[in-house]
């Protein structure tokens, strides 16, 4: 199978405009992301709606595709990039442009999901650890997911699922493995085309989670499990935390 990586990168961001061009220990965030994953694929592109990002991409040797400003999310931008560049592959992997700590093992876990011929879409989760605490578990900005016995997603929610009846909430993490959803996706190319034309669904609107649209329309989402923590950059404060995290794990990014 041929796997192509696409890094959607838009300039506008409500909380942190131009975040992918922000400096992270000597290189831009988008370059950090690209360098983490560039050797994982048969081919890789940066898909953007802004010439400044395209220029930055080509400056460090990446291939950039200009996409529409009308793309509502990374999934639509991936499909737009595939259409404009006539990309031919079996699977497209959507790498978020603000995840500079993504690891090769995580990409490999996504790729392995397609060993199962039932897989339409793949994504990643990370188990919550007891030391994470209930505050992180109950944070609605961290979606949770329930899996079946074949590691297909049954449901995603901003609420904590499942509810452990008869057990104090402070003990939930000690009595069940909860999974935090990581927003990285892979799609069979023909499925990606279908996803972009699907109408919104009631559960998606209620939870504001795009992946529920796919489940409601009957697509099978295979879930890979990783124990690697990542840090997304949504605010200037996140950028500072990313710099601290890089130092804490001994990344020598200044060299």
Domains by residue range for the chain, with CATH: 3-236 (3.90.550.10)
Residues 120-129 have pLDDT tens digits of 999 999 999 9
Q: List helix spans (H) across 165-249.
A: 172-175, 189-195, 202-207, 210-216, 236-248
**Within 13 Å, how many C-alpha atoms sit on residue 227's CB side?**
2
Mean pLDDT across 132-161: 96
Comparing CA positions, the residue from 151, 29, 153, 157 lying closest to residue 95 is: 29
Instruction: Give the per-residue pLDDT at 251.
Output: 61
Lowest mean pLDDT among 72-76, 135-139, 227-231: 227-231
Instruction: Give the per-residue pLDDT at 250.
Output: 60
Instruction: Give the per-residue pLDDT at 255.
Output: 38
Lowest mean pLDDT among 5-9, 68-72, 237-241, 247-251: 247-251
Instruction: Give the per-residue pLDDT at 15.
Output: 82
For the record, the structure tokens of 133 come out as 């605490």
pLDDT at 230 over 80: no
Mean pLDDT across 65-91: 95
Instruction: Give the per-residue pLDDT at 252.
Output: 54
Q: CA 183, CA 231: separation in Å to the nearest integer? A: 11
Instruction: Give the per-residue pLDDT at 254.
Output: 43
Listed in order, strand segments (DSSP E) in the chain are 3-9, 23-24, 27-28, 43-48, 64-66, 91-94, 121-127, 144-147, 153-157, 179-188, 221-225
The mean pLDDT value of the chain amounts to 94
Residues 162-209 have pLDDT tens digits of 999 999 999 999 999 999 999 899 999 999 999 999 999 999 999 999
Higher-confidence residue of 253 and 22: namely: 22
Give the relative orientation of helices 104-112 and 29-37 as an angle to the nearest 10 degrees: 60
Comparing CA positions, the residue from 31, 63, 59 lying closest to residue 46 is: 63
Instruction: Give the per-residue pLDDT at 98.
Output: 92
Buried/exposed code over 106-136 (b: 16+ C-beta within 10 A; e: otherwise)? bbebbbebbeeeebbbbbbbbebeeebebee
For the record, the structure tokens of 154 come out as 């049954």
């Amino acid at each position: 199978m041929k796997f192509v990586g696409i890094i959607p990168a838009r300039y506008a961001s409500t909380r942190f405009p131009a975040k992918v061009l922000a400096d992270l220990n000597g290189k831009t965030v988008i370059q950090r992301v690209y360098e983490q994953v560039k050797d994982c694929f048969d081919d890789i592109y940066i898909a953007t709606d802004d010439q400044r990002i395209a220029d930055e991409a080509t400056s460090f040797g990446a291939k950039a595709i200009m996409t529409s400003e009308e793309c509502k999310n990374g999934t639509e931008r991936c499909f737009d990039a595939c259409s404009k560049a006539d990309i031919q592959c079996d699977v497209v992997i959507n790498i978020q442009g603000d995840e500079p700590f993504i690891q090769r093992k995580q990409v490999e876990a996504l790729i392995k999901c397609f060993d199962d011929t039932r897989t339409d879409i793949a994504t990643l989760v990370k188990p919550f650890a007891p030391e994470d605490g209930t505050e992180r578990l109950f944070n609605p900005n961290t979606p949770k997911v329930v899996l079946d016995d074949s590691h297909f997603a049954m449901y995603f929610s901003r609420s904590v699922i499942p509810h452990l009846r008869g057990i104090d909430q402070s003990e939930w993490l000690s009595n069940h493995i909860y999974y935090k959803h990581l927003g990285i996706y892979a799609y069979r190319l023909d499925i990606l085309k279908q996803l972009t034309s699907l109408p919104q669904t009631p559960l998606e609107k209620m939870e504001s989670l795009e992946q529920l649209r796919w489940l409601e329309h009957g697509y099978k989402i295979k879930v890979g499990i990783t124990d690697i923590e990542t840090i997304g950059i949504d605010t200037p404060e996140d950028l500072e935390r990313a710099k601290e995290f890089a130092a804490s794990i001994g990344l020598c990014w200044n060299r």
